[in-house]
Amino acid sequence: MNSILLVEDDESLNRGISFKLIKEGYKVFSAVSLNEAEKVIDSEKIDLILLDINLPDGSGFDFCNKIRKSSDVLIIFLTACDQEVDIVTGYDIGADDYVTKPFSLMVLISKIKAILKRKQGEKVCNNIFSGDIIFYPEELRVFKNNKELILSKTEIKLFKYLICNAEQVVTKAQLLNELWDNDGNFIDDNTIAVNIRRLREKIEENPSNPKYIKNIRGIGYTWAERCVSR
């Protein structure tokens, strides 16, 4: 599950954005000042920061500069500062995107999904060893006890996303976004459940008591077994 830190001093707007992000399956931390934001960053693993510029205890620009000295965490400015000089400054100091107010929540969510997906795609996924499973991502080949498993296109997508996010909770919304067919064919909750069942039948010794792919009731799934990459 991706974690997002929202730094926005308008408490009503903060609550509204946070509520929408949580519904979309993200873990959300909210702050109304830079001081609060720093405390979150020091104590939590954050994948993306939504950052206002004009905050009660300082400038989001200065905060972004400070973060960029030690971290490549994704940063999207979310601000009423819509002058060209502000937008250029935002990108120059290391923002990954810049969204001006007022904005559409659906457009913001689309931008967040796109930027997180792009970041995920940039990760080098080495060969992964997990229990008696070996995954060769470059070849998209899966072996169990040294015997290759034959997986469908959807099953391999599902398997790759789960194992590359091992020991994290993956929501149904995330899987729907990841497995959306490039040809425009609709993927729904039932399709995910069917492919999870089929995948379990191929990789689990006992599909009714899975070791690898476990349900997280009401949320999604997790690859529960520890993975080693090399």
Residue ranges per domain, the chain? Answer: 3-122, 128-229
What single string gives the DSSP state of each residue in 111-153? HHHHHHHHHHHHS----EEETTEEEETTTTEEEETTEEE---H
User: How far apart, in whole angstroms, are the C-alpha atoms of residue 57 and residue 189?
Assistant: 44
Please determine, looking at this structure, whether the domain spanning 128-229 carries the CATH number 1.10.10.10.
yes
Residues for the chain: how many in total? Answer: 230
Please determine, looking at this structure, whether the domain spanning 3-122 carries the CATH number 3.30.428.10.
no
Dihedral angle sign, alpha carbons of residues 184, 185, 189, 193? negative
H helix runs in 44-188, sequence order: 60-68, 84-92, 105-122, 153-163, 172-179
Q: What is the pLDDT along the chain (230 residues), one digit of tens a residue?
A: 789 999 999 999 999 999 999 999 999 999 999 999 999 999 998 999 999 999 999 999 999 999 988 888 999 999 999 999 999 999 999 898 999 999 999 989 999 988 888 777 655 557 999 999 999 988 889 999 999 999 988 899 899 999 988 988 988 888 877 766 444 444 566 778 888 999 999 999 999 999 999 999 888 999 999 998 87
